[in-house]
Structure 1
Amino acid sequence: MVQHALLRKPQSGFTIIELVVVIVLLGVLAATALPRFIDISTDAQKAVLQSMGGSILSAANLVHAKAVIQGVSNEPLTTIDLDGDGVDDVEIRYGYPSASRNNGLSKIMGGDFSTGWTWSTTYGDTRFWLTTAKLGGRSGVYVNQTAVLNSGCYILYDPATTQGGSPAVSFVTTNC
């Protein structure tokens, strides 16, 4: 028996047609699934607000603990020295930060609060509104509440209004 010099080996790999079909299928999947994952900015903005809301409540509870220690947690309106330097730092209502635009909640926020957020209060400082500087159109400033409310994506802080009461944080996320 004579062996042929040109024995055919079985083919390995993909043909060009198979590769084209796979690429087309990946394109179709990307076109239908990608838009769902690309627009995650709404979820991100809501998460930022929820994170800040948690930070606000944590900071308010720390202020309250300090007010209890200093014996002023039952006062309807007073100020408190947080750092022990003899200067009152924050205005409080019943031991929690007030909604004052100058001396209340905004005084206890740290980090990028002064550049990353826009806030406003009601007349008489009964409610505090807060949104990101990007959504509010301004950075690190107190503004008329219209800028915050028009964002449709903000935090509401309602200070304690009675002895033994506590502040409340709620969210408006209709346009995040």
Structure 2
Amino acid sequence: MNLMKKNGFTLIELVVVIIILAILSIIAAPRFIEFQSDARISSLKGLRAEMHGAMSVLYPKSVLQGLQNKPGEDDDKATDDENVIIIDGQKIHLAYGYPAADSSKAWSLLIMATFTDSVFNADEPGDWYFHNKDGDKFIRFMTQSKKFSHDNCYLKYTEAASPTTPPVFEIVDSGC
């Protein structure tokens, strides 16, 4: 009696394996997508914590220089150097002793990260992306994978409104 050796899978076995893998991927995909969302939100929370830490070092320096009661600069006074602290030879504009929301330059000096403008330099690499408009008293910071503010996945920094109202950090995560 000559028995045939069986080599490999039959077509039916292959189809069954593919169907099982497809079902498993359909079940598992939402969990992996949720992990990505959680990772983006955690990144934003980490950035917020770094910014809080940097402000806790910067604010006492501004108090020592008597800058805690001075408002942020208006667009008309962009060259005003009365309300700045110099770090590493670079000027950081302040609003009531905290970083002003004029650009990301202050934050790149304070937390050692690169911030890229998401509108004008969206193709340039950066650790974080930011967006603000002239005259706005806030700035948005986005992750690399959600680098536009209309993605609704960003950290919004609103500069201090008065000596008794510190800056506000708001995480918008509906699109993460």
Q: What's the TM-score, normalizing by structure 1?
A: 0.66
Deviations 1:24-81 (A, max 9, x none): 9xx79x9386345422101111110111111112212221111012222111131112
Determine helix, strand or coil for the equivalent of 1:150.
helix
Assess, with a 3 A threshold, how the Cα gap between structure 1 residues 36 and 125 changes in structure 2: closer, same or farther.
closer
Match of 1:152 in 2: 152
Residue from 85, 95, 100 that aligns with 2:102: 100
Paired with 1:51 and 1:42, the residues of 2 have a C-alpha distance of 14
1:160 and 1:168 in contact (8 A); partners too: yes
Matched, 1:62 2:67: no
Paired with 2:136 and 2:54, the residues of 1 have a C-alpha distance of 19
Deviations 1:110-131 (A, max 9, x none): 1344521111113314110110
Matched, 1:119 2:124: no
Counting matched residue pairs gives 136
Assess, with a 3 A threshold, how the Cα gap between structure 1 residues 104 and 126 changes in structure 2: closer, same or farther.
farther
Q: CA RMSD in A?
A: 2.5
Assess, with a 3 A threshold, how the Cα gap between structure 1 residues 53 and 102 changes in structure 2: closer, same or farther.
closer
Q: What's the TM-score, normalizing by structure 2?
A: 0.66
Q: What code does the residue aligned with 2:95 have?
A: R
Q: What code does the residue aligned with 1:165 have?
A: T
Deviations 1:107-151 (A, max 9, x none): 433134452111111331411011013211xxxxxxxxxxx2222
Match of 1:90 in 2: 92
In structure 1, stretches of 5+ residues that fail to align are 1-23, 137-147
1:99 and 1:159 in contact (8 A); partners too: yes
In structure 2, stretches of 5+ residues that fail to align are 1-16, 73-82, 117-125
Assess, with a 3 A threshold, how the Cα gap between structure 1 residues 106 and 120 changes in structure 2: closer, same or farther.
farther
Match of 2:122 in 1: none
1:91 and 1:103 in contact (8 A); partners too: no
